[in-house]
Chains A and B, each alone.
Chain A
Amino acid sequence: MTDTNTTNENETQDYRSNSLGRLTMRRIFRQRSAVIGGTILIFLILVAIFAPAIAPYSPEEVLIGKEDVSKREGPCIHLLGCDEEKPQHILGVDGNVRDQFSRLVYGTRYSLYIGFTSVGFAIIVGTILGAIAGYASSWPDNLIMRFMDVLLAFPSLLLAIAIVTVLGRGLQNALLAIAIVSIPVYARVVRASVLSVKEQEFVAASRALGGSHFHILFRRILPNAISPLIVQGTLGIASAILSAAALSFLGLGAQPPTPEWGTMLGSERNQVFSAPHLVFFPGLAIMLTVLAFNLLGDGLRDAIDPRLK
């Protein structure tokens, strides 16, 4: 999926600017998958921000008695020859007679929110644990990493289901569960990079200058160990969105009438034969969002660290 035909011509162009940031940006823009993923993501962010302007209805507005539509009616698009007399619902209406398109548009907000917050939390905790494990070695390393092994031994979705059951249903708890389940991945990534960075000479120099452990770890080592984390984080958002949608689908995450895609899919799943549009579009939206983060993550990986390909 990646385009790595870095020709000599391009290499020479790179010397025009010697800023590391600009160099990296240029490398990222050369990755086709990063550009496609980034474009989809920007589009989704715009949809999320301007949801009230894009959605013709409020996502929780029940249209019974307000319009002449019936439960689970299929899409009606005037441009495609739907009767002009009828109200336009480009993706149809759902089981509670709400406009499916508006709900889908607002759902973007939930998906992005879920992805960023749960991964953000997991990265913070995972980084601290992984950094301590990698820097301290000996028993803290053993203790932390063995516990991470235990968490990794459970299939992640099942562990998340169990945690949600303990904490109680709901979007916040589902987020927390997904964050907890994904901590080991980040802890491992950070530990691995800390282990390799801490042997380098500038760390020894910092230590010789009398830097505290805290200073050496957080100001010297971590900033140099962060790039695999960015890649892993982007890919992690993709799987977090997927897991959160699965939890909601099972009725453990966001609760109705929240316009969350997994919830929308879950509550109409028995209607797949009679009203397929209510199942098809939310799933497509989940897939598109997850795809965007996956493509972006792949592209970033190839741009930042070609060795990992």
Chain B
Amino acid sequence: MLQYTIRRLLLSIPVIFGILVVTFVMARSIPGEPCKAMLGEKATAEVCERFTREHGLDKPIPVQFGIYMKDILQGNFGKSIRFSRPVSDILIERLPTTIELGLIALIIATVIGVPLGVISAVRRNSAVDVGTMIGANIGVSMPVYWLGLMLAYVFALLLKDTIFWLPPSGRLSAGLAVIPFYEYYGWNLAAGSASQTVAEFISNLFIVNSILIGDWVVLGDVVKHLILPSMALATIPLAIIARITRSSMLEVLRQDYIRTARAKGLVERFVILKHAFRNALLPIATIIGLQVGTLFAGAVLTETIFGLAGVGRMLYEAITARDFPIVQAFTVVIAVGYVLINLMVDLTYVFIDPRIRLE
């Protein structure tokens, strides 16, 4: 298994290298001078020249690529052109928002989608089944941003004075503040050290942070803000997971060993959960892993609608503003994350199905 993991990691190097090349080429072929885009059309030639030199944009393209590769291998993503701040700082700020949003959406999609799929398969052609499949078809056909806007309309406006009211934008209500857990406990972390970076990253996961310091008011508020965006983001994955679960279960329920299990007189619930579901799990795990890509794409739209400062929206803004360092770093992080998550999914196969030997 270790050997397999290492080989898979080595095999993903060409893909990741390809991603780096494509990202670099694309970022450089965006038309227009980054200087004019950043500093405005009125920027003088001198100002522009200094700007290009400072950001290394005056060097030949192959040299720029070399510098870019070297920096990335060293984990140095450079400085954002637009914010004049290290890209890694921005990443530490923004990534947790998207991770929280994506993870909650994935949990919603799995926790609702899998049982719905199982019930649909077991009670085939029942009202639940037909309803689920109609719902799933509509779900995959729904524009995420439209659903988001409609949810905001219903929960933030129509249900305004009820207990069901939910905030339509932001991560936290005005007047509330998140105290980073390391400050709360009075830890002394050296600025710029690795431990400080990790601590800051964790404290930006607002849910984790507020649990760590036991601030239930903030926790409630953060969760309230996350409900609508994660519901919108979860719809498409939910629909896909429910469909795959159903068809995978139907396939297994047809097998002889299920008939045998029933003939033995096993309790139906036991047959479904132990004998059928266990064996239907493989395609379900695969499809859940593949949803990560959908989630990232959906995050661009969801974060835009709900005013969340996450990676998706940042990347979209950076692309349109020609902020090369951010575009490169964020794309690399997203693509590498995607490759790694799918590797992890492949590794879980061993636990799901002990017959599988990864070699």
A158 touches B296 (CB 8 A): yes
User: Which candidate, A6-14, A62-70, A119-127, A279-287, is the interface stretch facing chain B?
Assistant: A279-287
Measured in the bound complex, the distance between the Cα atoms of B15 and A146 in whole Å is 7
A218 to chain B, nearest CB (A): 29
Give the contacting residue for A165; candidates B30, B152, B300; CB below 8 A.
B30
B residues 146-160 in Cβ contact with A at 8 Å:
146-147, 149-150, 152-153, 156-157
Q: Does B39 contact A (CB under 8 A)?
A: no
A287 touches B152 (CB 8 A): no
Q: How large is the interface on B (under 10, 10 to 19, 20 to 34, 35 or more residues)?
A: 35 or more
B60 surroundings in chain A (CB, below 8 A): none
Q: Does B31 contact A (CB under 8 A)?
A: yes
Give the contacting residue for A157; candidates B137, B297, B305, B339; CB below 8 A.
B297
Give the contacting residue for A238; candidates B22, B26, B141, B293; CB below 8 A.
B141
B26 touches A291 (CB 8 A): no
A162 surroundings in chain B (CB, below 8 A): 26, 319, 327, 331
A156 surroundings in chain B (CB, below 8 A): 293, 297
B26 surroundings in chain A (CB, below 8 A): 162-163, 166
B306 to chain A, nearest CB (A): 12
A residues 145-181 in Cβ contact with B at 8 Å:
146-147, 149-151, 153-158, 161-163, 165-166, 168
**Given contacts A155-B293, A155-B334, A238-B141, is CB(A150)–CB(B305) below 8 Å?**
no
Measured in the bound complex, the distance between the Cα atoms of B340 and A153 in whole Å is 11
B141 touches A291 (CB 8 A): yes
A168 surroundings in chain B (CB, below 8 A): 31
Residue of A whose beta carbon sits closest to that of B315: A158
A245 surroundings in chain B (CB, below 8 A): 143
A158 touches B331 (CB 8 A): yes
B31 touches A166 (CB 8 A): yes
Residue of A whose beta carbon sits closest to that of B321: A165
Give the contacting residue for B150; candidates A1, A154, A283; CB below 8 A.
A283
Q: Does A203 contact B (CB under 8 A)?
A: no
A111 to chain B, nearest CB (A): 12
A158 surroundings in chain B (CB, below 8 A): 296-297, 300, 312, 315-316, 331, 334
Residue of B whose beta carbon sits closest to that of A37: B137
A149 surroundings in chain B (CB, below 8 A): 15, 18
A33 to chain B, nearest CB (A): 8
Residue of B whose beta carbon sits closest to that of A165: B319
B255 to chain A, nearest CB (A): 16
- If over half of A's interface residues share one DSSP class (helix, strand or loop), that class is named, otherwise mixed; here it is helix
Q: Does B126 contact A (CB under 8 A)?
A: no
A102 surroundings in chain B (CB, below 8 A): none
Residue of B whose beta carbon sits closest to that of A242: B143
Q: Does B138 contact A (CB under 8 A)?
A: yes
Residue of B whose beta carbon sits closest to that of A245: B143
Measured in the bound complex, the distance between the Cα atoms of B322 and A232 in whole Å is 35
Q: Does B304 contact A (CB under 8 A)?
A: yes
B18 touches A146 (CB 8 A): yes
Q: Does B77 contact A (CB under 8 A)?
A: no
A1 touches B134 (CB 8 A): yes
Measured in the bound complex, the distance between the Cα atoms of B216 and A259 in whole Å is 47
Q: Does A140 contact B (CB under 8 A)?
A: no
A279 surroundings in chain B (CB, below 8 A): 146, 149-150, 153
Q: Does B65 contact A (CB under 8 A)?
A: no
Measured in the bound complex, the distance between the Cα atoms of B278 and A53 in whole Å is 57
Q: Does A295 contact B (CB under 8 A)?
A: yes
Measured in the bound complex, the distance between the Cα atoms of B327 and A166 in whole Å is 13
Measured in the bound complex, the distance between the Cα atoms of B138 and A238 in whole Å is 12
A95 to chain B, nearest CB (A): 15
A295 touches B296 (CB 8 A): no
Central interface residue in B146, B153, B157, by most chain A CB within 10 Å: B146
B186 to chain A, nearest CB (A): 40
A247 to chain B, nearest CB (A): 10
Q: Does A56 contact B (CB under 8 A)?
A: no
B146 touches A265 (CB 8 A): yes
Measured in the bound complex, the distance between the Cα atoms of B95 and A50 in whole Å is 48
Residue of B whose beta carbon sits closest to that of A33: B137
Q: Does A108 contact B (CB under 8 A)?
A: no
Residue of A whose beta carbon sits closest to that of B130: A1
A154 touches B137 (CB 8 A): no
Measured in the bound complex, the distance between the Cα atoms of B138 and A242 in whole Å is 13
Residue of B whose beta carbon sits closest to that of A274: B157
A1 touches B137 (CB 8 A): yes
A residues 226-264 in Cβ contact with B at 8 Å:
238, 242, 245-246, 249-250, 252, 262
Q: Does A16 contact B (CB under 8 A)?
A: no
A residues 55-100 in Cβ contact with B at 8 Å:
none
Closest 3 CB pairs of A and B: A283-B146, A150-B18, A157-B297
Q: A150-B18, A154-B19 are in contact. List 14 more A-B contacts (CB 8 A).
A: A1-B134, A161-B319, A162-B26, A162-B331, A165-B319, A165-B322, A246-B301, A249-B143, A250-B304, A269-B149, A273-B157, A283-B149, A290-B140, A290-B141
